[in-house]
Structure formats: C-alpha cells, structure tokens
C-alpha cells in the first residue's frame, strides 16, 4: 500500500514483484506494457496529470501518454480539476477523439491541511471525542519513530497548529482527514457537473479508486500508510460509472487493483494483453457475481520487515518476513466478517484454514520464482538526487524524503 507500486499495478496489471516496482523509488521499465500504451495504439488521445512527486516521468509512469504533467506544490485538487476541465473544454483538443485521461489527486493525504472554511468542519461534530484513543503529545513524537508513524505522529504531520494543546488528539487528526475527503469530494463533484453541462459525461466511463488507505491509529500506525497490510491500509474504494447504466450496484466480493486495466479494456471492447495478470470484471458490471479467488497484498520492499497477506472469502492470513535473514517472523489469521478490525488472531484455533491460506500465499504472485521472466523488466532504483528540485520539494512535504 504505497503510491508508486500500487499505481503501477493499476497501469500495468502486474503485481509489484513482476512489474519490478516494489517501492516508491522504483522505475517502471520500458519493457512493461501499460494501459495508456494499449489505448494509444487503439487510437485514443492519452493525457495524465498528477500532484504526487512519486508519479513523475523519472519513475516511468508517463509511457503511453501523449501529454503528461506533474503539478508541483502548491497545486492541489482544485488545480488538478482545472487542468482536466481545460483539457476537455470545447476549445481544447479535437472533441471528436476518444480520450483516456488519468488524474491522480493527492488529496486526501497528509499533511492534513484542506483549504477553505471546511478545514475544521468535523472538529467537535457528534462523532468527535478527544478522549478516544491515544492522546498524542508533541514531545513524545520526537522520541518514537519520528518520520514513520509507528507509535506516534510522523514528522511531516507535526503542523504548527498543533501547538494548541486541544489539537494534540487523535480525533482532531481524524476530523482533519475527513475534511480532506470532503474537499476532494467537492472537486470531484465540480469535475463531473461541468462535464455534464458540456454534454461530455453521457459518453464517458468514470473510474474512481485509490492507491492505498490510511492508518488512524489502528495497530499502532498513526496517520501514515505502507507499513502493514491490514484492511485500513489495503481496502480502498473502486467505483465505475458506465454510460447508459443509471442503476447502482454494490459488489461486496473483494477484487484487486491489477483488475482495473483489463476491466477497462473489456468495457471498451479492446483485447486484453497476455502480459496482464489481473482479470477483467465486465461480467460483474453486467450483473454477474465476482469470482471468489485469493486477494493478495504486500508492503514495499524498503522496510526491515515486510508484510504479505492473502484473503479468501472471510479469512485473511498475514505473514511477517525478516528480509535481512530471509525468515518468517510471524503469521496471523483473521475472520474479517466477525472481526473487521483484525484484532482477534485465530491462527491457533483454525489450523486447517491457516494451512490452506499458507499454501496459497506461498504460491502467490507476491514473490516471483527465481529466474522467472519479468514482464516489466528487471528492477531499477531511482536516485532522489536526480529528480527536479520541485519534485524533491513535493516528496519532502509529503514525508517521503
């Protein structure tokens, strides 16, 4: 659950071990085939705008796009919406062409500083209770994992307004995160409403999803992501709006980010490349049931311990691996329907379930066999010093440097 590996999985339909991008410092090889390249070859005009410094040309994510731009700070969700609407304006490119546009909004994301009067909208609302959870004090943050969010607020989230003692509370951060979500929702509403006014929404497929979740103190991770594969980190929304399909349907069976690209190609009637590892979900969109299959998750290959998870039905097995010594540290088993917060370890009481998931995880795509051909090419690592200053400043403001 980190930005670059997750996004590359959406664009290539490859799991991180197979794309070669397993950290935010990865570089996608030119050998990898992306959704943008497939659509470009099918006659689509392709464009992308991002506001996250992990998604820039140097990372390889621009391949296949006719136009690609990173909008550095202080660009925000409103800036990204403005660029998209300019792209789709009547004065823009050929309005008769088929287009694929990727917008990567940074919001919601730490530091939680939504603009405008709604920044404190959810502070002291009926769901707010400053006594709930852990009271976080700034002097404690400096001693405990100051930049990682484990056991305390990560360094880049320590904002000036926290000098007010009333705001050194878990629920204040949660309220600010809610305000970030509301801010993004408003920009999404503006985007779709304007497209509708221009008569463009009726023939547009709209997809909304996310690269990762966010820890709000669950399992000791505060206002950060990427360390674990618990549900708060990996369970993200995925919404699709199809032209001529006014009725809504909610699918509760989990799917994967690698399914996004093949699903879009199926919707558009374009052949899915053989290198794609995900599955097209068009039958589900047409009323069928989602296939019951293992759902995999993995943390980046940049931490001392790495977490891998597999879910099948209500059961989920999480494994911790010590990378330095190449050994299994621990495993935990959860029944998500009965225990959605993943706090009741059922490993000892369900040995057969654990054994079955263990075999699935061992054979899963989170770890490719030695000598296997890599569709995305061999792994490269990006040197942050080689990036443009504005990209480095963006990464630093988001806590990545």
The per-residue pLDDT for range 78-126, each reduced to its tens digit, is 999 998 898 877 665 555 579 999 999 999 988 888 898 889 899 878 8
Q: Can you tell me the distance from the alpha carbon of 51 to that of 395, in angstroms, rounded to the nearest whole number?
A: 10
Say if residue 336 is in the same domain as residue 390: no
Q: Can you tell me the distance from the alpha carbon of 42 to that of 56, in angstroms, rounded to the nearest whole number?
A: 24
Compute the average pLDDT of residues 337-341. Answer: 95
Q: Can you tell me the distance from the alpha carbon of 310 to that of 362, in angstroms, rounded to the nearest whole number?
A: 10
Say if residue 314 is in the same domain as residue 183: no
Question: DSSP assignment, residue 50?
Answer: E
Is residue 369 assigned to a domain? no
Q: Are strands 380-381 and 26-27 parallel, antiparallel or unpaired?
A: antiparallel
93 by Cβ neighbours in 10 Å (0-12 / 13-18 / 19+) ranks as: middle
Compute the average pLDDT of residues 22-35. Answer: 93
Q: For 63-77, 249-263, 303-317, 369-383, which range has the lowest pLDDT when averaged over its residues?
A: 369-383
Question: Which residues are CB-contacts of 24 (< 8 A; sequence separation ≥ 6)?
Answer: 2, 3, 4, 5, 54, 300, 302, 400
Alpha carbon of 123 to those of 108, 160, 172, 216, 297: distances in Å? 17, 17, 6, 15, 33
Say if residue 260 is in the same domain as residue 318: no
Compute the average pLDDT of residues 40-63. Answer: 95
| pLDDT (0 to 100) of residue 130 | 55
Is residue 336 assigned to a domain? yes
Torsion sign, CA atoms 134, 140, 142, 143: negative
Say if residue 204 is in the same domain as residue 340: no
Q: How confident is the model at residue 132 (pLDDT cuts 50, 70, 90)?
A: very low
Q: Are strands 315-322 and 380-381 parallel, antiparallel or unpaired?
A: unpaired
Domain count, the chain: 2
CA nearest neighbour of 315 among 278, 271, 345, 273: 345
Compute the average pLDDT of residues 185-195. Answer: 96
Q: How confident is the model at residue 135 (pLDDT cuts 50, 70, 90)?
A: very low
| pLDDT (0 to 100) of residue 275 | 94
**Inter-residue contact 152 to 163 (CB < 8 Å):** no
Q: Can you tell me the distance from the alpha carbon of 8 to that of 367, in angstroms, rounded to the nearest whole number?
A: 16
Is residue 368 assigned to a domain? no
Question: DSSP assignment, residue 155?
Answer: G
- Domain of 325, CATH number, reads 3.30.1120.10
Say if residue 169 is in the same domain as residue 228: yes
- Domain of 54, CATH number, reads 3.40.720.10
Q: Is the pLDDT of residue 70 over 90?
A: yes
Say if residue 24 is in the same domain as residue 166: yes
Question: Which residues are CB-contacts of 140 (< 8 A; sequence separation ≥ 6)?
Answer: 152
| pLDDT (0 to 100) of residue 357 | 95
**In degrees rounded to 5, what are phi and psi of residue 128?**
-95, 130
Say if residue 282 is in the same domain as residue 314: no
Instruction: Tell me the residue ranges of DSSP E strands in 105-226.
Output: 206-209, 215-216, 222-224
163 by Cβ neighbours in 10 Å (0-12 / 13-18 / 19+) ranks as: exposed
Say if residue 74 is in the same domain as residue 141: yes
Say if residue 355 is in the same domain as residue 392: no
Is residue 370 assigned to a domain? no
**Which residue range forms the structural domain that includes residue 98?**
3-293+375-397
CA nearest neighbour of 68 among 101, 108, 33, 34: 101
CA angle (298, 102, 99) in 5-degree steps: 140
Q: How confident is the model at residue 60 (pLDDT cuts 50, 70, 90)?
A: very high
Q: How confident is the model at residue 142 (pLDDT cuts 50, 70, 90)?
A: very low
Is residue 348 assigned to a domain? yes
Mean pLDDT for the chain? 84
Say if residue 156 is in the same domain as residue 242: yes
**Inter-residue contact 122 to 128 (CB < 8 Å):** yes
Is residue 75 assigned to a domain? yes
Higher pLDDT, 92 or 186: 186
| pLDDT (0 to 100) of residue 360 | 94
211 by Cβ neighbours in 10 Å (0-12 / 13-18 / 19+) ranks as: buried
Say if residue 213 is in the same domain as residue 333: no
Which of 5-19, 115-129, 142-156, 372-386 tops mean pLDDT?
Answer: 5-19
Name the percent of the chain lying above pLDDT 70.
79
Q: Can you tell me the distance from the alpha carbon of 150 to that of 144, in angstroms, rounded to the nearest whole number?
A: 7
Say if residue 195 is in the same domain as residue 59: yes
Tokens, residue 42:
């099918």
**In degrees rounded to 5, what are phi and psi of residue 120?**
-110, 25
| pLDDT (0 to 100) of residue 183 | 95
């Amino acid at each position: 659950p980190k930005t670059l590996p997750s996004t590359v999985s959406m664009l290539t339909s490859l799991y991180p071990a197979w794309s070669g991008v397993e950290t935010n410092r990865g570089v996608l090889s030119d050998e990898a085939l992306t959704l943008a390249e497939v659509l470009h070859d099918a006659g689509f005009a392709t464009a992308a705008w991002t506001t996250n410094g992990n998604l820039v040309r140097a990372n390889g994510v621009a391949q296949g796009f006719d136009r690609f731009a990173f909008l550095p700070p202080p660009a925000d969700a409103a800036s990204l919406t403005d660029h998209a609407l300019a792209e789709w304006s009547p004065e823009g490119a050929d309005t008769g062409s088929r287009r694929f546009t990727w917008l990567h909004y940074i919001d919601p994301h730490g530091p939680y500083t939504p603009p405008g009067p709604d920044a404190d909208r959810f502070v002291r609302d009926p769901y707010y209770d400053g006594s709930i959870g852990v009271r976080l004090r700034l002097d404690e943050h400096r001693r405990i994992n100051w930049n990682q969010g484990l056991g305390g607020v990560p360094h880049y989230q320590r904002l000036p307004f926290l000098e007010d003692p009333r705001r050194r509370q878990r629920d204040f951060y949660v309220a600010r995160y809610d305000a970030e979500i509301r801010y993004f929702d408003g920009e999404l509403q503006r985007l779709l409403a304007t497209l509708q006014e221009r008569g463009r929404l009726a023939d547009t497929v709209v997809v909304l999803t996310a690269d990762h979740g966010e820890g709000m103190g669950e399992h000791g991770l505060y206002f950060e992501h990427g360390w674990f594969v618990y549900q708060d980190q990996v369970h993200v929304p995925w919404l699709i709006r199809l032209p001529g399909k006014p009725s809504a349907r909610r699918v509760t069976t989990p799917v994967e980010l690698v399914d996004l690209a093949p699903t879009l190609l199926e919707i558009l009637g374009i052949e899915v490349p053989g290198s794609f590892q995900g599955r097209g979900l068009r039958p589900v969109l047409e009323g069928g049931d989602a296939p019951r299959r293992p759902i995999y998750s993995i943390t980046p290959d940049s931490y001392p311990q790495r977490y891998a998870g597999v879910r099948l039905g209500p059961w989920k097995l999480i494994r911790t691996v010590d990378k330095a010594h190449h050994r299994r540290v621990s495993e935990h088993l959860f029944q998500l329907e009965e225990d959605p917060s993943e706090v009741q370890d059922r490993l000892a009481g369900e040995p057969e379930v654990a054994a079955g998931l263990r075999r699935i995880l061992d054979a899963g795509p989170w770890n490719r066999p030695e000598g296997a051909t890599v569709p995305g090419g061999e792994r490269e690592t990006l040197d942050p010093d080689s990036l443009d200053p504005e990209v480095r400043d963006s990464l630093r403001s988001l806590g990545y440097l």
